[in-house]
Amino acid sequence: MTIITVLDIGTSSIKTLIATIEEGNTINLRGVGESSKHKMSKSKITDVESTVSAIKDSIMKAELMSGFQSNNIFASIGGAETKGITGKGTIALPKQNSIITEQDILRAINQSKVMSIGDNPILHVIPKNFTIDTQENIKNPIGLIGSKLLCETMVISIPSLILQNYNNVIERAGFRIEEYISQHIAAAHSVLSEEEKELGVAVIDIGGGTTKITVYIDSAITEIDTIEIAGATITKDISIGLRLTTNESERIKKKYGNCIKEKINPEEKFKVQGLTENEEREISSLNLYDIIAPRVDELMDYIQNSLSSAQVFDKLNAGIVLTGGTANLAGIKERFEKRIKLPTKIGYPKLNVGMSEQIKDPSFAVSCGILEYILPNFSTKERIGRKGIKIKQFSKMLSSIKDLFKL
């Protein structure tokens, strides 16, 4: 049995999952922790001490629930500075008409990495397709014969300063990270089916600070993007428009907010706590709608522009999958379908583990996606750190092959 810890550092909350890898390479979720004591803005750390405190609090809650001490910690990372570009790597095979091996694929992948990005740390190098000599669009070249192998990849990187800030708060909390996983990749891994990836789909992960867009066409990741409008933006609009605290604005957004005017009772009003202790007033549900709807429309316009600029809008045959905490906003699915005119559904984590009901929520898409993503790294005894093999090194070595067949 191996203990795995997932740390999802989001703008609105920090989530921790503690799970065990059992015989047969199955996951058993043992503990869940969540804390909102920190201060972040648009996925950026803006207050070190509060973030350190929230990390400790979230992990402690998961440890108490699970009865296990956190170990093998894998963390999410995101923000608008996360970039994905296409890399290309070409290698000559050892001889003419060589049978292509996993080692050949890794060489081509590494070449694409070298040719793509400068000094920024690389989070993922994900194969899109391969070309053997003149034969194009090959998904799995292992065992085929050729003289030259070209690999086209999605290379995802993040500035080193952001990585250093994440490392700083985690280490100050008393922990060490094995590996970072992009929030784009984790959310998509959590909610998409293989059929959706093949047909063409866009995952829209609307978190607290940012909205992450991840596009798959013909089973390959083709685009990622980040928009700095999300749930916290809507909450701030409510706070300013109705003169309420952030906590009260968040509460009424979740309880009374709706993106579809026709579903609102025009007579419905509810009480809110004002900025002062003794100030209590009534707010109309329509007034709340008038604040929420324009900001959601603005977000959709940015999303549509991003998809159109990437020239993928017409290829999304499986439509849009909304996930992240803001996907719980009433009526958001219907508003997306009406305005963007693509089939839309809410994406829930598909991971089937112990305590599943507690994490069957779009807000857990990233944390559950990390668990699924790292599972292949623990499929043998050697991969769980025994016989002197380090998890991080082994994970890095095999991540590209894993991505090829799993993403």
Q: Please answer whether residues 210 and 80 qualify as being in contact, where contact means their C-beta atoms are separated by less than 8 angstroms.
A: yes
Average pLDDT over residues 4-33: 91
Q: Do domains 1-79+159-183+350-407 and 194-349 have the same CATH topology?
A: yes
Q: Which of 47, 2, 6, 7 is nearest to 25 (CA)?
A: 2
pLDDT of residue 42: 82
Cβ contacts of 308 within 8 Å, gap of 6 or more:
none
pLDDT of residue 383: 39
Average pLDDT over residues 224-251: 96
Confidence of residue 401 (pLDDT cuts 50, 70, 90): low
Task: Name the average pLDDT for the chain.
Answer: 89
pLDDT of residue 117: 59
Query: pLDDT of 177-194, one tens digit each?
Result: 999 999 999 999 999 999
pLDDT of residue 393: 37
Average pLDDT over residues 165-184: 95
Confidence of residue 399 (pLDDT cuts 50, 70, 90): very low
Distance CA 292, CA 258 (A): 8
Average pLDDT over residues 320-343: 97
Q: What is the percent of the chain with per-residue pLDDT over 90, rounded to a whole number?
A: 76
pLDDT at 14 over 90: yes
Average pLDDT over residues 30-49: 89
pLDDT of residue 407: 46
> Which superfamily does CATH assign the domain made up of 194-349 to?
ATPase, nucleotide binding domain (3.30.420.40)
pLDDT of residue 400: 44
pLDDT of residue 352: 80
pLDDT at 118 over 80: no
Q: Which of 152, 198, 151, 203 is nearest to 182 (CA)?
A: 203
30-48: b (≥16 Cβ within 10 Å) or e: bbbbbbbbbebebbbbeee
Domain ranges of the chain: 1-79+159-183+350-407, 83-157, 194-349
pLDDT at 392 over 70: no
Q: Which of 86, 102, 107, 34 is nearest to 64 (CA)?
A: 34
Confidence of residue 31 (pLDDT cuts 50, 70, 90): very high
* Alpha carbon separation from 253 to 19, 237, 238, 246, 372 (Å, rounded): 32, 11, 8, 10, 31
Confidence of residue 115 (pLDDT cuts 50, 70, 90): low
> Within its chain, how far is the Cα of 322 from the centroid?
12
Question: Taking the model in full, what pTM does it have?
Answer: 0.90
pLDDT at 276 over 90: no
Query: pLDDT of 57-111, one tens digit each?
Result: 999 999 999 999 999 999 999 989 999 999 999 999 988 889 999 999 999 998 9
- CATH number assigned to the domain with residue range 83-157, chosen from the 4 options 3.40.47.10, 3.40.50.12780, 3.30.1490.110, 1.10.10.10: 3.30.1490.110
pLDDT of residue 378: 72
Average pLDDT over residues 369-397: 54
pLDDT at 306 over 60: yes
- CA angle (323 as vertex; 320, 329 as ends), nearest 5: 105
Confidence of residue 379 (pLDDT cuts 50, 70, 90): low
Confidence of residue 116 (pLDDT cuts 50, 70, 90): low
Is the domain 1-79+159-183+350-407 a CATH 3.30.420.40 member? yes
